[in-house]
Structure 1
């Protein structure tokens, strides 16, 4: 599996945790406020969880204040897509408790690319290379015959 594909898989796993965080907060807040306010509050809580998990688990970078400040900007695509999706789906008659889940799935690919750009500086995280034993006595040469 290429490192980009592996990162996308890790991003999707973080997305499951993120979605659970968002949805739990959304449902808790929905009891007190309207669906749109619940959506915004849920996004805020989930974004903090998502930031730390994506830094460490997905991209293998150290969380920093600079990344934390920039991370919401990277999620602008996700926020716009899910907000438009939630409002549109509810307007189409989809249950307020189900609409956020469908909208979130549709936003994953673009959100991943934006997060990778901000958290991993647009590229892949550094590859961890195994240490090489510098002792020449332990080095072996392999001859390949054709």
Structure 2
């Protein structure tokens, strides 16, 4: 499997845990607030869990404050798609307890691409690899390493 497909499979597995986190929080607060508020609270809780799992499991990068602060931006597509999906599905008569699950499935591919961009495409200072060159001094004829 290619690295992208492997990461997508890991992302999907993390997504199952994330969806469970979201759904449990959503159901826990649904009785106290409306479905839209429950959706937003569930997304917030799930986003924190998702960040740490995607850093460690999916993209295998170290969590950092910079990544943590950028992560919600990567999930803007997911949040928009699931929110529009939940409202549309509930408006169409789908049960409030089922609508978030269907909306979440539809948002997975775009969400993966956005998360991969934010979490694994960080600016890195790369030091060029040493280049072996022959010392021009014919008396020593030794191999030296010169950093360029």
* Same fold (TM > 0.5): yes
- 3-state SS in 2 of match to 1:61: coil
RMSD: 0.7
Deviation at 1:9, TM superposition (A): 0.2
Rounded to whole Å, the distance in 2 between the matches of 1:58 and 1:31 is 33
Deviation at 1:71, TM superposition (A): 0.1
User: Mapping of 1:64-75 within 5 angstroms?
Assistant: 64-75=64-75
Structure 1: segments with no counterpart, 5+ residues: 123-146
User: Mapping of 1:5-84 within 5 angstroms?
Assistant: 5-84=5-84
Rounded to whole Å, the distance in 2 between the matches of 1:47 and 1:80 is 14
Deviation at 1:67, TM superposition (A): 0.2
Rounded to whole Å, the distance in 1 between the matches of 2:111 and 2:71 is 11
User: How many aligned positions are there?
Assistant: 122
Moved runs in structure 1, 4+ residues, more than 4 A?
A: none
Task: Output one character per residue of 1:23-59: Cα deviation in whole Å (capped at 9) or x when no partner.
Answer: 0000000010000000000000000000000000000
Rounded to whole Å, the distance in 1 between the matches of 2:7 and 2:24 is 25
TM-score, with structure 2 as normaliser: 0.82
Rounded to whole Å, the distance in 2 between the matches of 1:75 and 1:100 is 16
State which structure, 1 or 2, has the greater radius of gyration over its C-alpha atoms: 2
Which residue of the partner structure matches residue 136 of structure 1?
Answer: none
Deviation at 1:110, TM superposition (A): 0.2
Task: Output one character per residue of 1:58-110: Cα deviation in whole Å (capped at 9) or x when no partner.
Answer: 00000000000000000000000000000000000000000000000000000
- Structure (1 or 2) with the greater strand fraction: 2
